[in-house]
Amino acid sequence: MNALMLIGEQIQMAGFVAADARSTLAGPAIFGCAAGRPIDTDAVLTCRPLPSRSDGLAVRYQGDSVSTWPTANGQVTDCLGQGGGVAGVEIVNRYYAEVASQTTRESELYCAGFGKPQPLVEGVERLRLRYWTAGAALAVEASALARDQWASVVAVDLCVLVRGAAFARRMRYVDCDGVQAFGADGRARQAFWRHIVLRNVLPAAS
């Protein structure tokens, strides 16, 4: 599933800094919003509520020719393939799902990097994220974490709820909380789950 793979790979990249880097990241490797999307400056992210109730996620790492696919002129790239500077620049990619077009009414996965948000995958209705901090017995949602706790996140439980074709009858599905539900609009839905470890913050967390 494309959305699960894309976000999962980004979470694995979170916190990456080149071995010869002269500076650290300006903020935590990962930051999330419960039922909202990350906004404001990269240095001080905050959350804006989403009508879709989708969770949002910001992933931070240093850009170079290893962590990104460089442009033809050697610039590092964000989640949309947009160039944003030379190797060593900090990248903050922000993901969320919402219905942005009132014409199509299709829900999509969006990402914002160096520029404005753009859709990546159609049919993504909701993201659901839970976070594991170092030594914790349970994963928690973003609203349970204080700002200084984001640096302690070592793993993420990600669920992506996708919406498909319409049927003549109501379709049953299991949502991201593991609860049986019916789609009132007749659209088929399916949730996909993944547990992802933040590879680049484990040494610091231990």
pLDDT in tens, 164-196: 877 767 788 899 999 998 887 888 899 999 999
Q: Name the residue among 120, 60, 62 with its Cα closest to residue 86.
A: 62
Please name the residue that has the structure tokens 């979470």. 11
Query: How does residue 87 score in pLDDT terms, banded at 50, 70 and 90?
Result: confident
Asked if residue 61 lies in contact with residue 78, where contact means CB atoms within 8 angstroms, the answer is no
User: Which of 10-24, 49-63, 95-109 is predicted with the least confidence, judged by mean pLDDT?
Assistant: 95-109
Count of CA atoms in the C-beta half-sphere (13 A) of 134: 12
pLDDT in tens, 14-28: 999 988 887 889 999
Q: What is the mean pLDDT of residues 101-119?
A: 88
Per-residue pLDDT, 205 = 41
Per-residue pLDDT, 21 = 82
Per-residue pLDDT, 202 = 57
Per-domain residue ranges of the chain = 2-205
